[in-house]
């Protein structure tokens, strides 16, 4: 029993690491694509592609969600896609990329809080210390905000905080949904409703920002990568990982994202990578390891908040 639980936790950890690594890498691709396709239009394209890919699997498996549970899935889609991802785009635009990375890295703390509140998980001291250590690691990797960041838009920073809180809520609500349905079904239906809810914003965006659709193959390759790998693949892996393990323990894997993003920025965009990157990465890995240590020692979860 304990061995099968350990295997399940390991599989969940692999899924979450892969999802966070993919999201860390996608900023290199999206940096190029966003130069020619505005954010909400790209958001619609990525979820439309993801829906085609995931929908094919759902239909072939007849893995459907009952209509009575549509309100739950619609709430998850609205929180996770329309609010969280849109807030991340808008907040970063009004503030700075630096502050965007800093503020949205607070998501794991909110995942842990919502896990206690909605899933009745008991967060142990090792998990809390792990999240604090990993957050310190993020601060070391991306640095303390400088004068330019300090003068960044207050409204933008508040919107980024909304992105972090709503991502925490999305993750915990998705975990609750995967207790009733498969991760594949949940991810697919969330993509569908996210597409419906976000379309009006895209229509407005296109009306104020005309787009020339005469792109080179590399832009379309980037769009396909964002749609298939970073949306269909990574969202499924993220939901699957949380299906396999306690939300409080899984939260720390989000911190893999800034490590991979920084590394690929150095590798592909020739961005500088100093000693702080390696020191911060060590803190992040230590924090993630510590927040998962408690679960192997205490496989039975308490059901009181």
Q: Summarize pLDDT for 225-237 with one digit per residue, the tens.
A: 999 999 999 999 9
Can you give the pLDDT at residue 225? 92
pLDDT mean across residues, the chain: 82
Q: Tell me the pLDDT band of 281, cut-offs 50, 70 and 90.
A: confident
Helix (H, G, I), strand (E, B) or coil at 34: coil
Query: 86 near 40, Cβ under 8 Å?
Result: yes
Can you give the pLDDT at residue 144? 61
Question: Measured in whole angstroms, how far is the alpha carbon of residue 261 from the centre of its chain?
Answer: 13
Helix (H, G, I), strand (E, B) or coil at 299: coil
Q: Tell me the pLDDT band of 150, cut-offs 50, 70 and 90.
A: low
Query: 166 near 87, Cβ under 8 Å?
Result: yes
Give the closest residue to 240 by CA, choosing from 15, 50, 73: 15
What is the per-residue burial (b if ≥16 Cβ within 10 Å, else e) of 262-280?
A: bbbbeeeeeeeeeeebeeb
Pairwise CA distance, residues 240 & 11, whole Å: 9
Give the closest residue to 64 by CA, choosing from 15, 78, 73: 73
Can you give the pLDDT at residue 171? 92
Angle between helices 97-104 and 154-177 (to 10 degrees): 40
Q: Tell me the pLDDT band of 68, cut-offs 50, 70 and 90.
A: very high
Residues above pLDDT 90, as percent of the chain: 33
Pairwise CA distance, residues 219 & 275, whole Å: 33
Quote the tokens at residue 174: 């998705």
Pairwise CA distance, residues 293 & 273, whole Å: 30
User: For residue range 171-217, what is the model confidence (pLDDT) as tens digits?
Assistant: 999 999 999 999 999 999 999 999 999 999 899 988 988 887 778 88
Can you give the pLDDT at residue 297? 44
Give the closest residue to 48 by CA, choosing from 226, 237, 236: 226
Helices (DSSP H) in the chain: which residue ranges? 2-33, 39-61, 70-77, 86-94, 97-104, 107-118, 125-142, 147-150, 154-177, 183-208, 217-224, 234-244, 247-250, 256-269, 275-297
User: For residue range 69-108, what is the model confidence (pLDDT) as tens digits?
Assistant: 999 999 999 999 989 988 887 787 777 666 666 677 778 8
Give the closest residue to 41 by CA, choosing from 156, 183, 198: 198
Pairwise CA distance, residues 38 & 119, whole Å: 37
Quote the tokens at residue 213: 């659709």
Query: 182 near 123, Cβ under 8 Å?
Result: no
Give the closest residue to 223 by CA, choosing from 21, 25, 34: 34
């Amino acid at each position: 029993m304990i061995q099968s639980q350990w295997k399940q936790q390991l599989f969940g950890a692999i899924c979450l690491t892969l999802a966070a690594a993919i999201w860390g890498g996608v900023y290199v691709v999206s940096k190029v694509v966003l130069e020619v396709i505005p954010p909400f239009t790209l958001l619609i394209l990525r979820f439309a592609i993801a829906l085609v890919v995931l929908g094919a699997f759902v239909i072939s498996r007849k893995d459907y969600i009952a209509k009575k549970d549509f309100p739950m899935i619609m709430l998850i889609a609205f929180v996770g896609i329309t609010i969280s991802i849109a807030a991340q785009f808008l907040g970063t635009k009004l503030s700075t990329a630096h502050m965007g990375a800093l503020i949205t890295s607070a998501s794991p703390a909110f995942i842990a809080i919502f896990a206690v509140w909605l899933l009745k998980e008991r967060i142990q001291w090792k998990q809390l210390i792990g999240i604090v250590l990993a957050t310190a690691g993020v601060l070391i990797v991306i640095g303390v905000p400088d004068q330019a960041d300090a003068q960044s838009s207050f409204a933008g920073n508040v919107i980024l905080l909304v992105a972090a809180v709503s991502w925490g809520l999305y993750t915990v609500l998705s975990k609750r949904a995967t207790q009733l349905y498969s991760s594949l079904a949940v991810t697919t239906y969330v993509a569908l409703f996210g597409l419906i809810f976000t379309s009006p914003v895209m229509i407005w965006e296109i009306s104020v920002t005309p787009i020339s659709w005469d792109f080179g193959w590399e832009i379309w390759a980037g769009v396909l990568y964002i749609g298939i790998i970073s949306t269909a693949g990574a969202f499924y892996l993220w939901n699957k990982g949380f299906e396999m393990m306690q939300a409080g323990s899984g939260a720390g894997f989000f911190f893999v994202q800034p490590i991979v993003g920084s590394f690929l920025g150095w590798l592909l965009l020739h961005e500088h990578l100093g000693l702080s990157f390696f020191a911060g990465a060590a803190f992040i890995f230590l924090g993630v390891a510590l927040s998962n240590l408690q679960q192997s020692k205490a496989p039975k979860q308490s059901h009181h908040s």
